[in-house]
Structure 1
Amino acid sequence: MRVALVTGASRGIGRAVAEKLASDGFAVVVGYAGNSDDAAATVKGIDGNAVAAQADVADESAVAAMFDLAEETYGGVDVVVHSAGILELSPLAELDLAAFDRVIRTNLRGTFVVNQQAVRRVRRGGAVVNLSTSVVGLAFPGYTAYAASKGGVEALTLILARELRGRDITVNAVAPGPTATDLFLQGKDEETIDRLAAQSPLERLGTPQDIAETIAFLASPAGHWVNGQVLRANGGII
């Protein structure tokens, strides 16, 4: 049995990824930050080999314990999908530095900590998939902190793929465009949402399931020749 550890799996893209990988035959460790009810709902929805694990992704001891649970419960880890992240929207001139620090801590330090455990634990033939954002390229105003944190995630991903030479482990990032999650929809009026949806040639927002399908491909043997890449899953937004 292959085993996947998915952070941020209590809702949104992370939950969709956990459900998709479970349907593909993975045992799944459902990582979550604080909402135990949502995490339990993810586990219940999978209705198979799944267990919830709470961890602040920026806390190395908590993340190590999450990987320990995966090994103790299922015998190892084959795939790590790091989906946990937070968003603070504000023009740079108005963004409180404490908010900036929170974004960097969760999104960039968190990716570093989770990936560090991943490269120590993931079995040969496995995969690591990090979540970035197409905003790194699209440069939407108001996203300075978020895009900066995810730009760091992309750099980390590309370098780590090369550091794992000889291990037969792939490391990639998926960079969603506008996707209908609570995190994305938060604070946006209907006019803004409609405008963002219209930017794609496919003329809609992405769904968590769209992103989960992309990640599942990278986690599968079929996607194993894709390595050290940032895949912009955004419906064709330039």
Structure 2
Amino acid sequence: MSEIFAGKAFLVVTGASRGIGRAIAEKFASHLKNDSKVLLMARNLENLEKIADGMPRGLIILCKSVDFGQTTTKELQDALNDALRGEKPESFNQAIIVHCAAVVDYTRTANDLTDFSEWQTFFNVNMFSSAVLNGLFMKTFESSGVKKYVVNVCSYWGLTPDVYVSSYCAAKAAKDMFFKSFALENPDVSVLNYLPGLVDTEMLHDAYKKSKSEELVTRIKSALENNTVSTPEKTAECLVGVLKQQNYKSGDYVDFQKLNTV
């Protein structure tokens, strides 16, 4: 079995401008070999460029501003082509893609969600764009003999329902099932559904400030006060270790909280 960071890699990270996505991009980059290529994707180009500036100088990095709620197949394919910059896919030892882009609404009940366009945009970000980008990524490297790795950054809300987040629960559950099915169809690809734990991110603080669920707000407040939340850097480092060890069946969940005590 090849080691994920052993050779020249092509890495894609979505949602890379902040939080867990940013930490994963930075942590992975610190393990990549020189001349590896990194494609960072998110809406905030300025943040992406700042992150790229702090990465090892031996890497070739492209930052791409993408609105995953409105993106197209062509835009995503063009981003992959631009990152390759004429280099052949077979020149890489590993091709790694991390799906981390997400958006959450903490304020509305299921009965409030009656706008088709809002549903479309929401699922575009949280599910459809990942599925399309993943397919394009696989086609790019399908005949190259490159070892391929897929990481789907999951949420406990994809496993357990909750109030005021029904759209997010639905999208994350659909995304997880998609990657489980993808793993069955692609036994040559290493697929990991990674549960990152409760992490101190802007998204967590948004939930604390905006959620209409008193139970959720109380739970977050308690976790922050008792220092039982992880940092993005810690969960990203755990993910690196999991991928290096490969002690999981492709398509399975690996849960940060079951591997660590904060």
Q: Distance in 1 between matches of 2:155 and 2:189?
A: 23
**What does 1:18-37 align with in structure 2 at a 5 Å threshold?**
18-26=25-33, 27-37=36-46
Q: Find the counterpart in structure 2 of residue 186 from structure 1.
A: 206
- Asked if structure 2 preserves the Cα contact closer than 8 Å seen for 1:31 and 1:66, the reply is no
1:139 — aligned with what?
A: 161
Match of 2:133 among 111, 114, 126: 114
Give, in whole Å, the separation in 1 of the partners of 2:209 and 2:162.
16
What corresponds to 2:219 in structure 1?
Answer: 195
Q: How many residue pairs end up in the alignment?
A: 233
2:160–2:169 CA contact under 8 A, matched in 1: no
Report what 2:81 is aligned to. Answer: 68
Per mean C-alpha deviation after superposition, the further-off stretch among 176-185 and 18-27 is: 176-185
State the identity %: 21
The residue number in structure 2 matching 1:215 is 239
Gaps of 5+ in 1: none
CA contact (8 A) 2:13 2:39 kept: yes
Q: 1:91 aligns with which of 93, 109, 134?
A: 109
Give the aligned partner of residue 174 of structure 1: 194
Partner AA of 1:217 in structure 2: G
Q: CA RMSD in A?
A: 2.9
CA distance in 2, matches of 1:71, 1:218: 27
Contact 2:39–2:83 (CA<8 Å) still a contact in 1? no
Q: Distance in 2 between matches of 1:138 and 1:151?
A: 9
CA contact (8 A) 1:12 1:181 kept: yes
> If the length of structure 1 is used for normalisation, what is the TM-score?
0.84
- Tell me, yes or no, if structure 1 residue 81 matches structure 2 residue 105: no
Offset of residue 218 of structure 1: 4.7
Unmatched tracts of structure 2, length 5 or more: 1-7
* Deviating more after overlay: 4-13 vs 21-30: 21-30
Secondary structure of the residue aligned to 2:148 is: strand
Which whole-Å CA distance do the structure 2 matches of 1:30 and 1:185 have between them? 27
The alignment's TM-score, normalised by the length of structure 2, stands at 0.77
With over 3 angstroms needed to count, the CA separation of the structure-2 counterparts of 1:20 and 1:189, relative to structure 1, is same
| 1:17 Cα offset (Å) | 0.7
